[in-house]
Amino acid sequence: MTPSTDLQKPIIKTELPGPKGREIIAADEKYVTPSYPRPDYKLVAEKGYGVWLEDADGNIFLDCNAGVAVCSTGHCHPEIVKAISEQAATLIHMCGTDFYYKQMPDLGKKLNEIVPIAGDTKTHFANSGAEAVETALKLAMYHTRRQKFISFFGSFHGRTLGALSLTSSKRAQRLGFMRQALDVVHAPYPNWIRSPFAGVTDAESAAKATIDWIENTLFKTTTPPSEVAGIVVEAVQGEGGYIPAPPLFMTEIRRICDKHGIMMIVDEVQSGMGRTGKMFATEYYGVEPDIMCLAKALGSGLPIGACVAKSEIMDWHKGAHASTFGGNPVCIASALKTIELLQGGMIENAANIGEYLQNGLKNLMGKYDCIGDVRGLGLMIGVEFVEDKKTMKAAPELRDKVEMACFNRGLIILGCGTSTIRWSPPLILTKENVDVALEIFDEAIAASV
C-alpha cells in the first residue's frame, strides 16, 4: 500500500477558482472545444499526490473522483512514476502493430491471468475506453458475421460513432448526430428504482422484466437473435448512475448468449481494475464474458485501453484491426505496475474501505430524506438524491448543489446518472480520509437542502 501524505484535511485559501485558475479557464474557453461535459464547479488541477489534489492557486482538495475513476493507485504513485520514467528513458514508441516489443505480450499474458475467462485469451491494445469498445464491436461482427447489437438505456460506452450507437446515458451525447452508425437496440437496464415495467419491486424482478422483454419482444419483432452479434453490458452501470447489475441479470444474459451464439461483451472500463473490491466486477456474478473492454484505471492515468477476448474468438485476419499508439511501451509499463500494486493490497483496501464508506453514506441516508439510495461495490458507490423518500422523484438540482458545496469545502466528487453522486476515489483511501470526506458531505447536504 502507498503513502497518502500526512495531510489530513483539505485546505481552501482562495475563492474558487482563484485568480490563476480563472486565467487558465479563460484561455481554455478561447482555445479548447466547448463540447466537454464539465460540471458546474471549476477545478483547475496542477499537482496530485496520493488522494490529494492541488489547484493552480494552491488550494488542496481531497479527491474522491480520481480523474473519473482513473487514478486508482493514487495521484503520481512513486512506483508508477518510476516505471513510466524508466520505460520512457528506454523505449517510448515503436508501433506494435508493425513491430514487436516485449511489453505487449507481457501485458497480454498478465491480462490472460487476471480476467475472469477460463482458457486462453488474446488482447488487442487501444488508447481509450471507446477504442476498446470499438474493437469489441468489430470483433463480434467479424466473428459472428452478424451486425446487430443490444445495449441498455443509461449505458455509457464512449463517444466514437460505433460506441456512441450503444451509449444512451444522456441526450447531449446523441443530440446533433442524427442516425446511429450501428444497428443497436436498447433495453431498459434493470434499475429497479426507476423501472419502466409494471410490477417491478426489487432488483431481481427488474432483471426478469428486462430479460423477458429481450426474449419475448425484441427477439420476436425487430431483432431476431440469429442476427445479433453481441449484447454489450456494464457489470456496474457507471455514467448511468453507479448501479450494480442484479446477479440474475448477468447469468440470464450469459444464458441468452449461449443459446443464440451471441457474444457477451462486458464493458469494465469504469468498474474494472480493482475498483469494486475485486479485480473485475464480473467476478461477483460468476459468469464468463466472451469479450471484455478495459481502460481508465488500467494505466493509472496513462492512456491505454484493452479488448480481451477468448482466443478462439479473436480469429480475425492480419490487418483487420490495429492502432499506431495502442499498447505503447510506456503505457504498458504503467499498466503492469498498476496491476502489481492493485494485487499488492489496493483491491483488498477497496473492499474494506468501500464497506466503511458505504456504511457511513447509509447513515447519512438515515439522516436525510433527500438521499433515496446508497448502492455500489467496493469503492464504486452511488448516492441518489431524491425530492423525498416517499415519492423517490429524482432531484438533479439538489445533487448539483451538493456537488458544488462539496467542492467549496475541498471535496471532489462528481455526479452521474440523473441525480446521483458517484464516489470513485483512489483505492488507497484510508478510514481517516473517509471520516473527513463524510463530514464534508454531511455539511454540504445540510447547506444545500
Ligand X SMILES: Cc1ncc(COP(=O)(O)O)c(C=O)c1O
In the bound state with ligand X, the residue whose beta carbon lies nearer, of 57 and 234, is 234
DSSP-derived secondary structure letter, 297: G
- Contacts of residue 209, defined as CB under 8 A and 6 or more positions apart, other chains included, come to 188, 190, 195, 197, 199, 200
Q: Checking DSSP bridges between strand 420-423 and strand 148-152, what pairing results, if any?
A: unpaired
In the bound state with ligand X, the residue whose beta carbon lies nearer, of 21 and 326, is 326
| Number of separate helices (H) and strands (E) present in the chain | 12, 17
In the bound state with ligand X, the residue whose beta carbon lies nearer, of 56 and 133, is 133
Q: Which residue is nearest to ligand X (CB)?
A: 129
436: region left, alpha or beta (phi > 0 left; psi from -120 to 50 alpha): alpha
CA 240 – CA 156 distance, rounded (Å): 7
| Min CB(346)–ligand X separation in Å | 20
| Min CB(163)–ligand X separation in Å | 7
CA 149 – CA 9 distance, rounded (Å): 47
CA 206 – CA 191 distance, rounded (Å): 7
| Min CB(68)–ligand X separation in Å | 6
Do 291 and 313 meet the contact criterion of CB atoms below 8 Å apart? yes
CA 426 – CA 410 distance, rounded (Å): 16
Placement of cell 471520516 in the chain: 435
CA 132 – CA 292 distance, rounded (Å): 9
Do 41 and 414 meet the contact criterion of CB atoms below 8 Å apart? no
In the bound state with ligand X, the residue whose beta carbon lies nearer, of 107 and 166, is 166
Placement of cell 470499438 in the chain: 134
In the bound state with ligand X, the residue whose beta carbon lies nearer, of 44 and 265, is 265
| Min CB(128)–ligand X separation in Å | 4
| Min CB(186)–ligand X separation in Å | 15
| Min CB(115)–ligand X separation in Å | 16
One-letter identity of residue 68: V
| Min CB(157)–ligand X separation in Å | 5
Instruction: State how far the alpha carbon of 287 is from the alpha carbons of 35, 124, 250, 320, in Å.
Output: 37, 22, 7, 29
| Interacting residue ranges for ligand X, rule: CB under 6 A | 128-130, 133, 156-158, 234, 238-239, 267, 269-270, 295
Q: Which helix (H) or strand (E) holds 446?
A: helix 431-448
CA 361 – CA 245 distance, rounded (Å): 20
In the bound state with ligand X, the residue whose beta carbon lies nearer, of 156 and 219, is 156
| Min CB(126)–ligand X separation in Å | 9
In the bound state with ligand X, the residue whose beta carbon lies nearer, of 239 and 403, is 239
In the bound state with ligand X, the residue whose beta carbon lies nearer, of 294 and 444, is 294
269: which 3 cell numbers? Answer: 472500463
In the bound state with ligand X, the residue whose beta carbon lies nearer, of 377 and 444, is 377
| Min CB(327)–ligand X separation in Å | 15
